[in-house]
Amino acid sequence: MSKLPLLINWFKAHKGTVTAFSGGVDSSLVLYVSKLALGDQAIGLISNSESLKTKDFEIAVNFCKKHDINLKVIKTDELNDPNYTANPANRCFFCKTHLYEAMIDIIKDEYPEYTILNGTNQDDLGDYRPGLEAAKNNAIRSPLAELGITKKEVIDMASELRLETAAKPPSPCLSSRIPYGTAVNKIRLKQIEEAEYILNQFGFENVRVRYLGEEASIEVPVSEMELLEHQFDAISKDIKALGFSKVNIDKEGFVSGKLNRVLNG
């Protein structure tokens, strides 16, 4: 049985909401349902920072245009925060803190009494996500998690509502491609984004390019590995042109959160 009526009802206790929006399926569902329940009192907010892929920003903007949702665009300055750029294991805590503090300032001035939301779902609570602490510190509400809605239920509801983001592959921030302890900067983020765009142009959608210093490590689903190997020479040449001296294929294939394994070692 769908939890969609339950989710819609959740919003009725709120004067208005501002959803931290990334263009992913979780925050898309929260934002879209807030619009169903609250109309123009449902606002989306996205930070167009260097760690967000240009493609994901465009998806988010187009989603709001299509569904007539008011989207505010800001730019947070986490790349000026040495706590973030040093890339510690809790890097996400500092990024989300910048975002939520900026949202609180905006709410205070423009949308008093509105509630700030994020797209955290029930499954996220069992994962290593330092951003959850930042949300807690800033009293950010998570309707999906509060209602016990899992990732599968999110996708099912997004499909039920025919949202175009229902089938969108997960796309965490570009900094997640850089191993903990290796500094994050604009140049490296741009290299990663352009390398993944090259793979997209060759027909690979669900990809990761891990930054390993002078080396770029490519991940695609195992089912697409043979196709990648067939085109590897051309892909490698284009990626090396971005400043990498070596390109390799991760034979394990695409695995989300692979760099977190060092935390469990």
On whether both 190 and 146 belong to a single domain, the answer is no
- Given pLDDT bands bounded at 50, 70 and 90, which one contains residue 31? very high
| Number of domains making up the chain | 2
- The DSSP string of 66-133 is HTT-EEEEE---GGG-HHHHT--TTHHHHHHHHHHHHHHHHHHHHSTTPEEE----GGGGGS--THHH
Please tell me the predicted confidence (pLDDT) of residue 242.
97
CA distances from 265 to 76, 127, 212 (A): 33, 16, 19
Q: Which of 59-68, 235-244, 256-265 has the lowest mean pLDDT?
A: 256-265
Strand 70-74 and strand 17-20: the pairing is unpaired
- Residue written as tokens 């689903």? 221
Q: Flag whether pLDDT at 48 surpasses 60.
A: yes
* Structural domain range at position 124: 4-160
On whether both 113 and 239 belong to a single domain, the answer is no
Q: Flag whether pLDDT at 152 surpasses 60.
A: yes
Q: Residue 61 domain-assigned?
A: yes
62 touches 90 (CB < 8 A): no
On whether both 46 and 154 belong to a single domain, the answer is yes
Report residue 247: phi and psi, to 5°: -130, 130
On whether both 26 and 148 belong to a single domain, the answer is yes
Query: Please, where are the H alpha helices in the chain?
Result: 4-10, 25-38, 54-66, 82-85, 91-110, 131-137, 143-146, 151-160, 186-201, 225-240
| CA gyration radius, the chain | 19
Report the amino acid identity of residue 156.
Answer: D
Measured distance CA(25)–CA(105) in Å, rounded: 26
Q: What does the mean pLDDT of the chain come to?
A: 94
Paired residues of 45 in beta bridges: 20, 72
Residue 49: strand, helix, or coil: coil
Q: Flag whether pLDDT at 264 surpasses 60.
A: no
On whether both 215 and 144 belong to a single domain, the answer is no
Report the amino acid identity of residue 124.
Answer: D
Last residue of a domain, one of 160, 193, 221: 160
Last residue of a domain, one of 112, 134, 160: 160
Task: Give the residue, 203 or 262, on which the prediction is more confident.
Answer: 203
pLDDT in tens, 164-205: 999 988 889 999 999 999 999 999 999 999 999 999 999 999
Q: Residue 9 domain-assigned?
A: yes
Share of the chain above pLDDT 70, in %: 97
DSSP 193: H
197 touches 204 (CB < 8 A): no
| pTM score of the predicted model | 0.92
Please tell me the predicted confidence (pLDDT) of residue 51.
95
Q: Residue 72 domain-assigned?
A: yes
Measured distance CA(224)–CA(231) in Å, rounded: 11
What distance separates the 2 farthest-apart alpha carbons in the chain?
57
Please tell me the predicted confidence (pLDDT) of residue 261.
62
Residue 208: strand, helix, or coil: strand
Q: Which of 99-103, 106-110, 245-249 has the lowest mean pLDDT?
A: 106-110
